[in-house]
Chain A
Amino acid sequence: MSVALQNLVNQPYKHGFVTDIESEVAPKGLSEETIRLISSKKNEPEWLLEFRLNAYKKWLTMSEPDWQNVHYPKIDFQAISYYAAPKPKKKLASMDEVDPELLRTFEKLGVPMHERAALAGVAVDVIFDSVSVATTYKEKLAEVGIIFCSISEAVQEHPELVKKYLGSVVPVGDNFFAALNSAVFTDGSFCFIPKGVKCPMDLSTYFRINTEGSGQFERTLVIAEEEATVCYLEGCTAPQFDTNQLHAAVVELVALDNADIKYSTVQNWYAGDENGVGGIYNFVTKRGLAKGVNSRISWTQVETGSAITWKYPSCILRGDNSVGEFYSVAVTNHLQQADTGTKMIHLGKNTRSTIVSKGISAGRSNSSYRGLVRISPTADGARNYSQCDSMLIGDQSGAHTFPYIQVRNNSAKVEHEASTSKIGEDQLFYFAQRGIDAEEAVSMIINGFCKDVFQQLPMEFAVEATKLLSFKLEGSVG
């Protein structure tokens, strides 16, 4: 790897979250020793070390995928440091020290005051309020038997659950990046909803924001037992920065009989500048197993950040009558690239899936939808409806659709609709002629375009997402 790229991979974010370099950092590179080091530092049981080593062995035999419609310089995996003890963020004394550009962003997005401080890394008392809020929630959840904690904590406190489900949806050797994650993941979230429990509130990673950062190889596991329901929110609309360029997360969801899991993501990692310098490579494996009868797994994502987004939140519909849903908005601007979509694997009888994908490309960016609908011979009466719409802004952006449909059962019904539209001079002129300026016009057109997806989000999230989109596309027209 060139020195330039090496610098890029380890480049601190320019808005200045200086991490304390005194923390314990493992030597660069990936080896069995590194993995043993991670596992022992985290005081893990033997079976988890075996899990990691097994993943590592698989990873060594695999090669980095190259079929996706994105381009980036080759990553040198031996140049990455895979373990660092929790890195304390440098605390700023007051909001006055925060980069004005960042404050402007918060202002635009309408991020609440106390969150701004927390996100900007300011050491003020209000942050501790949010910690106590988190504690209150945790107690309330524990009353009904819900476990919501970091995955490291779960490994210590509930090893039998982690052992049973970890890797059960995304096997260690599933794909190159999932194997890497399985070998080196450092932290993430764990959520368990016991039989018959309807989670009384939306679970948000925000509640855990002040625990240690889960870093670049995040691992999330959500389990809903029989009749359980949960709504899980990941990420936030405020920009998130990280000194690590490569992110390879794995998320696994398991829904037993009649269980219902709704997983919503707003992703706004640093996207690089307008010349495509810097930005996060977000290579994520997300998959839900609708294991039980009548179970439902629903993914909603609003992807606006990262230099490269490469993810396919999928559903394996194994239980009879199970339902899979995927609602996605992916926005790219400047030189961002996104290759995202879903896989709906129909195995059970009368399984149903819905795919609604909205891609918006501005600047010189490229956005691709890639989706697989597979109806297996056992899936009698399966149905799928897919709708993939692309919107282009300006004349230098690209939109692509790659639908794969495999039907092996004659009783299946599969529908696919696609459209491409463009915000051009004529659209903006129409608004202007009614006295409405370009910024407001684009905002209205985009939000109309994304309506089917936004209405799947929790209310507050939807309002924030609406603002976020306008913000991301600011200045891309006119």
Chain B
Amino acid sequence: MINNNSKTILDVRGLCANIDSTKILKGIDITVKSGEIHAIMGLNGSGKSTFAKVLAGHSAYEVTAGSVQLNEQDLLTLSPEERALAGIFLAFQYPIEIPGVANSQFLRLAYNTVQTQRGKEELDPLEFDDFVREKMKLLDMNPDFLDRSVNEGFSGGEKKRNEILQMALLEPQLSILDETDSGLDIDALKIVANGVNQITNKDNATIIVTHYQRLLDYIVPDYVHVMQAGRIVKTGGKELAHELETRGYDWISSDNTANAGATV
């Protein structure tokens, strides 16, 4: 929800980033306040997933210009784990599998690491088991998932649910969902969206990176940004997503270049 009095969680100015000296991000500006949900849409290769990974600190990308502040703290000087502990959460498009490691073990380690950072008590395996089972209900997950190896043999939808379960456990300040809707059937999509809606509140913020509008039917964004060639070229309300659904992305580029006064 938009509230002009809420505080700024994320402030990105002129962010540029390369991978292997190829420019991907070419000057991103975005401000996200608490309680807000932002959708970033765009075609494949527009740089939206890169933006998500750069925020989380993936080492394959080199930031060449610009600034990123999280709660008025310079994010770019922090390591990926420091960013996570500072409150950034990335729900991965392709979560990795960790054979032989029980999901419960991994979830508890992640949870306790964050708890320690926040100066709170760690949970022992029994306490954690009760706690995580409650959270799993949000996502209609079978408790069997706790005993299985992390993501191993999970279907696409199960993996995505496991990501959102982690979001629920870690209670981040800023969640970034990278193509969370890809590979989900409509039932799973509803469950995942419902889970996310229960986690979002007036104190945290969410960025949804997506290709399609359909997820936004269930998680209603306050802002929709359109990315193209490494820049945000258009920003609007939720209705922009519907417009993209019916008209595609082409009209924006002509619109945009026209706005920019360029001659084609």
Binding site for B on A (CB under 8 A): 421, 425-427, 429-430, 432-437, 440, 444-445, 447-452
Q: Smallest Cβ distance from B240 to chain A, in angstroms?
A: 29
Q: Smallest Cβ distance from B132 to chain A, in angstroms?
A: 14
Which of the four size classes fits the interface of chain B? 20 to 34
* 19 pairs from A and B in contact (CB 8 Å cutoff): A425-B58, A425-B59, A429-B56, A430-B95, A430-B96, A432-B57, A432-B84, A433-B88, A434-B113, A435-B85, A435-B114, A437-B81, A445-B101, A447-B100, A448-B100, A448-B149, A449-B99, A449-B100, A450-B100
Interface residues of B in 83-124 (CB under 8 A from A): 83-85, 88-90, 92, 95-96, 98-101, 105-106, 109-110, 113-114, 117
Which residues from chain A contact B84 at a C-beta distance below 8 Å? 432-435
- Among B60, B96, B101, B117, the residue within 8 A (CB) of A435 is B117
Interface residues of B in 186-235 (CB under 8 A from A): none
Which residue from chain A places its CB closest to the CB of B83 in the assembled complex? A433
A427 touches B96 (CB 8 A): yes
Given contacts A425-B60, A433-B83, A444-B106, 17 further A-B contacts (CB under 8 A): A425-B58, A426-B96, A429-B56, A430-B96, A432-B57, A432-B81, A433-B88, A434-B84, A434-B109, A434-B113, A435-B81, A435-B110, A436-B109, A436-B110, A444-B98, A445-B101, A449-B100
Which residues from chain B contact A452 at a C-beta distance below 8 Å? 100
Q: Is B166 an interface residue (CB 8 A)?
A: yes
B79 touches A432 (CB 8 A): yes
User: Which of A429, A440, A449 has most chain B Cβ within 10 Å?
Assistant: A429
Q: Smallest Cβ distance from A426 to chain B, in angstroms?
A: 6
Is the contact region of chain A dominated by helix, strand, or loop, or is it mixed?
Answer: helix
User: Which of A425, A426, A447, A448 has most chain B Cβ within 10 Å?
Assistant: A448
Q: Smallest Cβ distance from B83 to chain A, in angstroms?
A: 8
Which residues from chain B contact A450 at a C-beta distance below 8 Å? 100
Task: Tell me, in angstroms, the Cα distance from A452 to B88 when the chains sit together.
Answer: 35
Which residue from chain B places its CB closest to the CB of A438 in the assembled complex? B81
Q: Is B66 an interface residue (CB 8 A)?
A: no
Task: Tell me, in angstroms, the Cα distance from A170 to B180 when the chains sit together.
Answer: 59
Q: Is B156 an interface residue (CB 8 A)?
A: no
Which residues from chain A contact B95 at a C-beta distance below 8 Å? 430
Interface residues of B in 146-163 (CB under 8 A from A): 149
A444 touching B60 in the complex, CB below 8 Å, given contacts A434-B170, A435-B84, A450-B100: no
Which residue from chain A places its CB closest to the CB of B105 in the assembled complex? A444
Which residue from chain A places its CB closest to the CB of B113 in the assembled complex? A435
Task: Tell me, in angstroms, the Cα distance from A429 to B60 when the chains sit together.
Answer: 10
Q: Is B27 an interface residue (CB 8 A)?
A: no
Task: Tell me, in angstroms, the Cα distance from A448 to B149 when the chains sit together.
Answer: 9
User: Which of A433, A435, A449, A450 has most chain B Cβ within 10 Å?
Assistant: A435
Which residues from chain A contact B110 at a C-beta distance below 8 Å? 434-436
Which residue from chain A places its CB closest to the CB of B150 in the assembled complex? A448
Which residues from chain A contact B88 at a C-beta distance below 8 Å? 433
Task: Tell me, in angstroms, the Cα distance from A258 to B79 when the chains sit together.
Answer: 58
Q: Smallest Cβ distance from A475 to chain B, in angstroms?
A: 17
Task: Tell me, in angstroms, the Cα distance from A348 to B241 when the chains sit together.
Answer: 71
Which residues from chain A contact B58 at a C-beta distance below 8 Å? 425, 429
Which residues from chain A contact B96 at a C-beta distance below 8 Å? 426-427, 430
Which residues from chain B contact A425 at a C-beta distance below 8 Å? 58-60
Which residues from chain A contact B109 at a C-beta distance below 8 Å? 434, 436, 440, 444
Which residues from chain A contact B117 at a C-beta distance below 8 Å? 435
Which residues from chain A contact B56 at a C-beta distance below 8 Å? 429, 433
Q: Is B80 an interface residue (CB 8 A)?
A: yes
Q: Smallest Cβ distance from B165 to chain A, in angstroms?
A: 12
Task: Tell me, in angstroms, the Cα distance from A421 to B84 when the chains sit together.
Answer: 26
User: Which of A430, A434, A440, A445 has most chain B Cβ within 10 Å?
Assistant: A434
Which residues from chain A contact B113 at a C-beta distance below 8 Å? 434-436
